[in-house]
Structures are given as C-alpha cells and as structure tokens.
A and B are shown apart, each in its own frame.
Chain A
Amino acid sequence: MTGTLVETEDRRQYKATRRRGLTVDLSMTLATILAALAIGFLVMLLTGNDPVGAYEAMLTGPLERSFRVGRWLEDATTLTLLGLSVAIPFRARQISLGAESQLYAGALAAAAVAVFLPLPPVVAVIVPLVAAAAAGAGMGLVPGAMKARLGANEIVATLMLNAIVVRVYDYLVNGPLKEPGSSAVHSKSIQQDSALTPLSDWFGIPLGRANVGLLLMVFTAVALWLLITRTPLGYRIRMTGSNPEFAEYGGIRVPRVIEWSFVIGGAVAGLAGAHLVQGVYGRLEPGLAGSLAFEGIVVALLARNNPLVVVVAGLFYSYLRAGGDIMEQQTDVGTEIVVVIQAVIVLLVTAQALPDLLKRRLARREVAGR
C-alpha cells in the first residue's frame, strides 16, 4: 500500500523524500550517540562518580596530546580494516566471524616475509602486505568453500577455524618463532625496510605508532566501495545478499559469489594483521589482535556494511575506546562505562529504532496536513 504512494509521487517529490530520509538518518545517529552518552551519565551519577570529569577525560582526552591522537589513529586503522573484512561477506548475507583467524594468518605471513626475507626497499614493504592478504584470503576460502560447496554453516565453520588458527599462532610465537635469548615472548623484529613508515616522520610531531597503514586503510575502503557499487562481482554480491533465490534465478552462480565474498573479506583481514606486524608492533606478539576482531563486526553493523561508512564508524568507535582508556587512567570511572555506552549505541543504531519512528511520524503529519 505504501507502494501506491511512492508511485504517484513525481521525481522531485521522491528526491525530496529521499533527501529528508537521509537527513533524518544522520541526525538520528547523532541523537542516538547523545542518548547513549546521557545514559552513561546517569549510570555514573547513580554509582556515585563524577560524570562531568569522566566525560571530559573521555571525550577530549584522545585529542589532548599528539601521541594520543596517534594511538587513536593506529587503533582505528586495524579496527576499520577488520570492519571492512566482515562487511563484504555480510553484504552477501554470509555471517562470517572468521576475521580473527584471517588476521592471524595474515600476521604470520607478513612476519615470515618481513623478518626472514631480505628484499630491496619499497618491495620489502609491499611483498609482506601481499603475502598477508593472500594468507588471509586463503583462510577465508576455507569456510567460504565449506559453505558454498558443502552447505556447512558458516558461523560454525569460521568460529572453529578461529579456535584452530589462534592455537597454532600461539604455538608458533611461543616456540619456533620466538626470538632466541629473549625472556619475553615475541618473535624477532622485522627488518627496518619492511616497516610501514610512522606518520611521525611525515608530520614531525610524535604520533606514537600511527603509520601509513592509515592511508592504506582509506584506500582499501574506497577500493571496496568501488568493488561493491561499480563491478559485476559487487553487483552479484549485492543481489546474492538481497535475495539469493533471485540471484540464482537470474543466472548468477551463487556459491561462487559466496566464496568470493569470503576470499575478499579474508584478504582485508590479512592486511589488518600485516598492519599490526609491520606498523604497530614490528614483530609477532601473543594475542596481537585482542578483541578487535569482534569489535570489527560491531563497526560493520554500525555502518550497515557500507565500506565508506565503515571508515567513519571505525574512527568513531576507536575514539570511544581511546577515550575510555584515558578516562580510566585519570578518573575513578572504569572502562565499563564505555562498554555501556557502546552497547547502547549499537543497540539503537542496529535496531534503527529512532530513525524509523521519526520517519513514520513525519509521514503521518504530512498526510494529516494535506
């Protein structure tokens, strides 16, 4: 029935409705964030803390010193790459939770090349990156093929693969790859030429471990956006995700598309691993990724799997993480409150409760006014 309404609109009206829908979406996202902050504020009040001081630390903290900015950007780079890596399978309606295994595979591949293979400058940066992407892609292909060819459940397949790969990684870092003679557990450092250039060198201010991986991340996001919107494969991924039966009916080989979505996502997660090795730590360390792989899923959901929006969501989410750490250092309030805020935002945004409510009210008022 809504249909007849749209059909009778002329093009200008339709565009206006669409523009207004976009404005509503944007302003509602902001309102959602404010609502989440307000809830956090209340929680802090109720638990007898000083919310003003805590928020000051959290919201302005990450920008106060340049190395904190660096900390934020470095974290955002990894997180966004991980968000992008799941956004692609999500677009094909594949619930891939395999970013973790793909990241570790990528990290191992990058480290193997960057530590042991002497290469001329520039090439020494690129080859480990390519190796990481390939390893991640391979690690994505496994659950992808299991789903597409054997009908395995991709959630189970990716989770199990994570469990295996993380153990293998731990074993390698604690054993064969552990730096001889070192008391701490980590691998040998990568060769100087393989490191991703720190941003500090460019801007001449201390930016911590932030590096050109940031640009690589932005470039990847744009490339993926082009892939999704401007290539036949992207079209097939979108149609498969929107209605797989329609895709099949239209002659698209759906299993092939599903495999590709896993492979592409895996390659991007592999890059995230390379970023950690070549840019952040300079070597393999245990528990390299922390909880980032799963926060990447949240970022992808927040961005509704649009690669360009994933960048914004990743930057925002990392900012909250960085701010939460500073808040914990400077005040009595723990990072738990950040978790509360993040959870509220995720709930409201993924449920899209607010925008839909407002759009419906607007539509009703318009009809009443006619």
Chain B
Amino acid sequence: MLLEINPLVLPDIGLVFWNTVAFLVLLIVLGKFAWKPILKAINDRESGIEEALLKADKMKSEITAMQNENEALLAKAREERATLIKEAKEASEKMVAEAKDKAKSEYDRILADAQVAINQQKNAALAEVKNQVGNLVVEVAEKVLRKELSNKADQESYIKQLADGVKLN
C-alpha cells in the first residue's frame, strides 16, 4: 500500500457506533434528569440569593425611612407638646387674668353699687331728717307764729318786715 495508515489514527466503526449511542444516551438522560434539575436549582438559588439581598437592601432603606419618619414624628410631637403646653399656659394665664379682671370689675361694680346704695340711703336718711326737721320747724314756727300773731299789730309789722325783705326786681 502506498500510504500505510497507522492503526492508531484509524477510527474503529464499532467504537464510533457505541460512542454515539453512549453520548446520546448520556445527553438525553443527563439532560433531562441531571442537568435540568441541577441547573434549575442553582439558578433558583442564585436568583433567590439575589432577591434576598435586594429585599434586605430594600428593608434596610425602609427601616431607615421609618426611623427618619419616627424621628420626624417624634420631633413633631415634641413641638406639638411644647405648643400645647405653651397654649395651655397662655390659656390659663389668660383665664387667671380674665378672672382677675372679672373679679376686679365685679368688686368695682359691687363697690360702686354699695356706694350708690349708701348714698341713696344717706340721701334718703338726710331727706327724712330734713323732712322731720322741716316739719318740726314748721310746727314750732306755727306754734311760735300762732302765739306771736295773736295780736293784729304784731301781725302787720311782721308782714311789713317780710314785704320789705322781698325786693321786686
């Protein structure tokens, strides 16, 4: 033979045949029952880990946001409390002041009323006294006049005296 082919590089048809069979069997059986579930499990796990990490990050940011919110709420509450206290203080002060004012005005009013009443009483009393005194004077004067004017001469002199006193002007 011109070209002696080394038996080592001459493929045996038997091995080619069985190898094809073996490879196809492996490819189909392993592809269906090994590679598919294994790769799926690995992928699932990887995506699970990724998801979990993302979730953790999200949670973290959520927690931070919540904390911030809490702080803001707290600050607001504090502020509100402060304003409330302030308002309450103001209100109470106002109430006290108002009460004071009211009490004072009442007192003033009562005082004024009392004074008015006192004055009225006083006036009334004075008027009474005056009336009494007037009546007494009139009675006394009547009695005196009756006694003094029992004679005509005296009467006339007195009238004259009175008439002199009245000046027609």
Q: Are A and B genuine complex partners?
A: no
- Using a CB–CB cutoff of 8 Å, the interface residues on chain A facing chain B are none
